[in-house]
Amino acid sequence: MSERRHITTAIFYCNGTPHVGSAYEALAADVFARYWRRRLGRGRVTFLSGTDEHGDKIRRAALAEDLAPKVYTDRMSALFREAWQGLGVSFDYFVRTTDPIHERFVQEMLRRTHENGDLYFRDYEGLYCVDCERFYPEKELSGGQLCPVHNRPVERISEGNYFLRIEKYREQVRDHIAKNPGFIRPERYRNEALNMLAEPLTDLCISRPKSRLDWGIELPFDSNYVTYVWYDAFWAYLSVPALAENPGDMDAAWRRAAELIACSEHFIGKDILKTHAVYWPPILMAAGLPLFRRLNVHGWLNFGGQRMSKSSGNVRDPVSYERAFGPDVLRYFVMRELVYGLDGDFSEERLVQRYNADLANDLGNFASRVLAMAQRYCQGEVRAVPGADLETNLQERVGRKIEELDFKGALEEIWLLIAEANNYIVETEPFKLAKDPANAARVEQILANLLEILRMLAGFLEPFMPVTSWRLFELLGLNPESDAAKAASGEGLKPGHRVKPPIALFPRIDRKPAA
């Protein structure tokens, strides 16, 4: 089977609006997806995002606004979808866990797991965090029975529920992680996962009685219960793409799910490492499915030293930055400023500095100078075969860094090319050479080289800054759809090709606009 990738963000819990922290995950996954589409072809890559809409926390949020849960989630899910589309997140599937096709798939996975004997019923008393939507063993709680994530008191609940045998699979999962160093990236999170799996696990409660909570997917073998919101949400990675072609054939959907999960690259935040490294693998195995290809874990995005989150109240609207600064600016900033896997701090002041220095001064000025000189000295025509003095292996270096999740490093490589190209202008001085008609051939060669560098930059930037890449290709008189895939090698600009006059891609900002 040819190589392929199924790339997913976490399924965003829609009890609040999107913020820059959640946007960071969507943007990182989008850069990765765009890169692999260019490398493997669009038909070999799928990219999925969506919203997680069931559970007690959603029900309570809806009640607080005097809305039915479905009405509330319709509104909130639309905000996420529109925000990601506004930021250029190029998902192929946007799954809602309230989609009927998703609910049918979840019930089928529950049925198969039940038939496999990996679900059982027992009475249970436990300490429950509504915000986490999960029971906690007492040893994991902070002093005074506080949730370790939300620092709020947990509730003691006694009820009968269905449980998944995850301890049964613990050694198998731990062995897989130990033998596959790239299974969880970066390495620090792989080590954390191994530690989590080092001791016996409490089997996972995967149901809630309808008498307490009816906002969820009904168990196919017991109509008095709905399934646990996390069990439900995991299947969103597979449900719609698996059932899309033939919604009535569950055996075909299971086989399709097996193909997809084997090539899945999950992008998640470090706060849900345990659910994905400890719970998700046994859920898959109990349904007879293979494990995912890789788990790519990012750190938290902080604002003013505190984690950006709905509960902390320090969220920033990602779309507002796009409206204030223009397309691609937020995308560029978070990918250039943050080291994937580590926590980072979001600063509006720093964003403005990056905009003026990197985008307006470096990239914007370079594009304008080259296109203006092409018009002034060559009437907008390429008059020589590009090639002299050009970088030849940057595509390989940038690609390797993207594959390794070093998005910051990939952009630094691209900006080194911009710096070298600007130095090339300083060293060759085409604006001085053009004063003597005897230098016409040399000027034409220099400008052909510079225009080719601009074409290469348009290709390199596409995963990170798709709107900017599109504009550069159009200014170069090229088709963005077909020429973006050529990136930095293959056919270059040819003599006789015409380019357009420059436009200001990134006008300088003298003061910070209101975000």
| Of 44, 159, 46, nearest in space to 94 by CA | 46
* Sign of the torsion formed by the C-alpha atoms of 232, 183, 29 and 318: positive
Domain with CATH 1.10.730.10 in the chain: 349-486
> What pTM was estimated for this model as a whole?
0.92
- At 157, is the pLDDT very low, low, confident or very high (cuts 50, 70, 90)? confident
Is the domain 5-298 a CATH 3.40.50.620 member?
A: yes
pLDDT at 487: 46
CA 415 from centre of chain: 22
Interatomic CA distance for residues 318 and 321, integer angstroms: 6
- CATH architecture under which domain 349-486 falls: Orthogonal Bundle (1.10)
Kindly tell me if the per-residue pLDDT of 514 is higher than 60: no
Q: Are 473 and 458 in contact (CB under 8 A)?
A: yes
Interatomic CA distance for residues 459 and 469, integer angstroms: 7
Interatomic CA distance for residues 175 and 194, integer angstroms: 9
* pLDDT tens per residue, range 158-195: 889 999 999 999 999 999 999 999 999 999 999 999 99
Which of 166-175, 239-248, 440-449 has the lowest average pLDDT? 239-248
What would the 3-class secondary structure string for 211-255 be? CCCCCCCEECCEEEEEECHHHHHHHHHCHHHHHCCCCCCHHHHHH
Within 13 A of 413's CA, how many CA atoms are on the CB side? 21
* pLDDT tens per residue, range 340-359: 999 998 888 899 999 999 99
Beta strand pairing call for 301-303 and 294-298: unpaired
Q: Are 46 and 260 in contact (CB under 8 A)?
A: yes
* pLDDT tens per residue, range 190-228: 999 999 999 999 999 999 999 989 999 999 999 999 999
Output the six-digit token pair for 182. 């790239």
Output the six-digit token pair for 58. 């959603």
Domain with CATH 3.40.50.620 in the chain: 5-298
Which of 52-61, 92-101, 254-263 has the lowest average pLDDT? 52-61
Output the six-digit token pair for 461. 């930037």
Kindly tell me if the per-residue pLDDT of 91 is higher than 50: yes
Output the six-digit token pair for 13. 């819990």
- At 486, is the pLDDT very low, low, confident or very high (cuts 50, 70, 90)? low
pLDDT at 147: 86
Output the six-digit token pair for 332. 């560029």
| Of 233, 232, 236, nearest in space to 264 by CA | 236
Q: Are 321 and 26 in contact (CB under 8 A)?
A: no
**Residue 194 CB-density burial (10 A; 0-12 exposed, 13-18 middle, 19+ buried):** middle
